[in-house]
Structure formats: C-alpha cells, structure tokens
C-alpha cells in the first residue's frame, strides 16, 4: 500500500505513477483471441463446441448449445425464497430507475418553416455476456439486461459459461426476471465471436454488453465496429473521501469490499487527517486477518492500494478529479456540497451510511461504470446504450427558399458540384411555380 502526502516534494511523481498504472496491460491476449474469433467465424457451432470442451470440461454439442426454457426454469426454481425476494427487489429498483431515463422524441417546425424531428429507437438485438469462472454474478445480469429490456430491445441473448455443465440457479433466475429470450452455455472469447458474427445456432446481435476476463475484453475490442459494445472494462476501483468523524473500521470494510474483487482492483483513501489515516490502515490489517478472500484483497491492497493525505477538502476535490474513479464514496458531514465539485466519477455514494456495495446490488443506478480514469469522458451503462437516434427533415417551398441558397453556397465552396445542383435545381423548380 502506498502512502502519499500532498505536502511532500515527491508527491507529484508518486501520484503520476498511481495514475499511469491504471489500465496497464499485464497480459497480451491479442493473438489468441484473434485465432478464436477466426475459428468461430469459419466453423460456427463446431468451434464453440471445441473450445467449450477444451476450456470448460464440458462435452458440448450443437444440440446442447442453447439452454432450453425448461432447463432455465428448473435451475431458477432451486433459488431459496428469501434470496429470490432479494433478487426481485433489486430487479424492481433497477427497472424503475432506468425507466426514468427514457427520452422523448423531438418534433417541431422552426421559424423558416422546416419541419425537424428526432426519433429514439431501440436496438433489435443485444447480446449479454455473463462471467461463469471464479464466481457468478446475477447482479450483472440485472444491470445489463434490465436497461435493454426497459429500452424496448426486441431480442436479448445471453451467453454464460457452464464449467462441468452446471447452470447457476441465481443467474438463471435473474435471466427470467429480465425476460431474457435466449440462453447459451458458451463463454470466453468464443461467446463474443458467436454473438458478433453468428453461428448455426446463435443469431448475431447488434451490441454486446457484460463483464468478462482479459479474453472477453479483448474479444469485445476486436469485434467493435462490426457490433457495438458497452466498454472495455478494466479492474474495479473505489476512492473513499473520509474525515475523522467517520468510523475507521467502516471505511476499512469499504476499501476491502473493492480489494476483494480481484488482485488488480484498487482502493484509495483520501483524507486530511493523518491520525485517522493510521486508524484506517490498522483496521484494514485487522480485517485482512478474517476475510475469506484475504489473499486476493491483500495483493490488491499491497500492489494498488493507497492512502492520500491532503491539506483540506478543496485539495481532496482536485485529487479525486484527477483520479476520475469508477466509484467515489463521500463520507463527510456535507457530502452533497463536496460532490457538486466533482466532475469525474462513474458513480458517487453520499454520506457515511451509503457504501458502494449498495449500488452493486439494490441502489437502482447501474453498476456498470467507467474504469481506469475513463470517467473523464465516459459514463455508466444506461438506457442510452440500447437506443439509437434517427433525425428527420421535411421541407416545403417556404423552407427551401429560406435555407436552400446557403446550402448551395457551402456546397460550391467545398467543390461538390452535384451537391450544389441537387439544391439549386429544386430552387429553380420552386421559383418556376410562381
């Protein structure tokens, strides 16, 4: 764990290193992924079966690639009632929050008499990737599938690896709550390729969303352009801004909640109180003695964790905006005032009682957020990732006379003669009507 102090002479160098380390490529999988995608494109279902047999220890056949609705229902029925109730609560809150995002069409006539419009249209088909390796995340199903369903996407196809052929009941239950249309027992880069290019069994989609390992992320990068993607997600991260009035143990749990994700995750405390910083550091060490995922959290904390001491809260604002974190917790007396000064953060959690974990599951806003400082220019997953805009122009005689001549001038200046003619000939036609 790195400890930085803005009053130190070496702070600028140390801070730049923290910034530059995020998103560093630790493993190049470009060529293996390119090979897998080429195989899927050329061999279709057979490639999916070959890679599944190899990586998931499961004898997949073309006939068993798709999980039948009956299999989904049987698996989902295994979820305990109290767990299903929690999942339904999360689904409802996520659905309602995303319903509030739905935009309105534009339809008006301007002063020149030109009728202008813009329609929002849902994508036809979306592919959802769900991890199935070290752990399964039904919350990811809800966060990725529910906005697509609310947006009006016609077809939702989900790919999830099933090592040993085992379906995860919670994942299947989440798929049911989101009315996922199709479920396929395929994972890895081959699943991304199948959703992008299509196979005999899996029809291609228009956008692919959902988290995954380095192979999945690289596959999404390589198919982008042929289909849309949500983002190339990096390791998860949290910045906690806290003062001495916060509970050091609670702050430590929030930091470790991020660190336990994986070894590349990053947890940072920003505070203006060195004594409080010491207490949090001690609390982290105590917590690491009891956590089940302590080895993962320990490596994350040792390699990427940091405590940054600042002079005051104004300096904390500057530090946070430079970090542009995926998650920001503001554990201060006046969290709203502080958060209004933050320009770069994927999601903000206000107050001492609102941990980032609340947003992971039942808050309502999406937990698919920009990582590796991309919050400087990117936003979290939303309704708008599943919608596209189509604009329209309708012009009559009055409108053409008003704006057409300017179009002719600009087309001529660009040297595009046919462009100019397509306007000027119509202007002649209109003039001849009078």
Q: Which residues are catalytic?
A: 326-327
Cα–Cα distance, 268 to 429 (Å, whole number): 68
Closest CA to 197 of 180, 219, 230, 213: 219
Structure tokens at 167: 């379906």
Cα–Cα distance, 298 to 295 (Å, whole number): 5
For 165: left if phi > 0, alpha if psi spans -120 to 50, otherwise beta; the answer is left
Structure tokens at 116: 């202008």
CA 33 to chain centre: 21
Cα–Cα distance, 268 to 259 (Å, whole number): 10
Sign of CA dihedral 347, 306, 315, 354: positive
Cα–Cα distance, 294 to 277 (Å, whole number): 21
- Are 120 and 103 contacting, i.e. CB atoms less than 8 angstroms apart? yes
Cα–Cα distance, 286 to 288 (Å, whole number): 5
Do β-strands 237-242 and 125-129 pair in parallel, antiparallel, or remain unpaired?
Answer: unpaired
Cα–Cα distance, 362 to 247 (Å, whole number): 23
């Amino acid at each position: 764990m790195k400890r930085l102090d803005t009053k130190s002479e070496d702070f600028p160098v140390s801070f730049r290193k923290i910034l530059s380390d995020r998103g560093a490529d630790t493993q190049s999988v470009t060529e293996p992924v390119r090979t897998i995608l080429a195989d899927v494109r050329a061999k279709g279902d057979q490639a999916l079966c070959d890679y599944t047999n190899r990586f998931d220890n499961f004898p997949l056949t073309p006939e068993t690639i798709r999980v039948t609705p009956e299999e989904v229902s049987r698996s989902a029925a295994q979820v305990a009632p109290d767990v299903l109730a929690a999942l339904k609560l999360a689904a409802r809150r996520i659905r309602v929050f995303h319903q509030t995002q739905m935009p309105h069409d534009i339809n008006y006539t301007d002063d020149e008499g030109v009728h202008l419009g813009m329609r929002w249209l849902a994508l036809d088909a979306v592919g959802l990737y769900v991890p199935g390796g070290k752990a399964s995340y039904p919350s990811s199903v809800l966060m990725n599938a529910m906005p697509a369903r609310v947006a009006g996407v016609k077809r939702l196809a989900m790919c999830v690896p099933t090592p040993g052929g085992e379906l995860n009941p919670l994942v299947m239950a989440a798929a049911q709550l989101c009315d996922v249309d199709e479920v396929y027992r395929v994972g890895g880069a081959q699943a991304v390729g199948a959703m992008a290019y299509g196979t005999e069994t899996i029809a291609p989609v228009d956008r692919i969303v959902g988290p995954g390992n380095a192979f999945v992320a690289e596959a999404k990068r390589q198919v982008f352009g042929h289909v849309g993607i949500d983002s190339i997600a990096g390791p998860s991260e949290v910045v906690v801004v806290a003062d001495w009035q916060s509970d050091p143990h609670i702050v430590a749990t929030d930091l470790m909640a991020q660190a336990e994700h994986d070894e590349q995750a990053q947890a940072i405390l920003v505070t203006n109180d060195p004594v409080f910083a010491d207490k949090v550091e001690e609390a982290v060490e105590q917590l690491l003695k009891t956590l089940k995922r302590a080895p993962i959290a320990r490596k994350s904390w040792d390699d990427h964790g940091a405590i940054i001491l600042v002079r005051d809260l104004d300096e904390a604002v500057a530090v946070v905006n430079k970090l542009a974190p995926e998650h920001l917790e503001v554990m201060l007396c006046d969290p709203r005032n502080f958060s209004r000064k933050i320009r770069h953060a994927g999601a903000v959690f206000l107050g001492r009682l609102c941990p980032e974990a609340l947003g992971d599951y039942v808050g309502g806003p999406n937990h698919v957020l920009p990582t590796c400082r991309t919050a400087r220019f990117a936003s979290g997953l939303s309704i708008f990732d599943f919608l596209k805009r189509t604009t329209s122009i309708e012009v009559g005689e009055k409108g053409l006379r008003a704006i057409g001549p300017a179009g002719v001038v600009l087309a001529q200046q660009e040297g595009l003669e046919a462009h100019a003619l397509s306007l000027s000939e119509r202007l002649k036609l209109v003039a001849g009507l009078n």
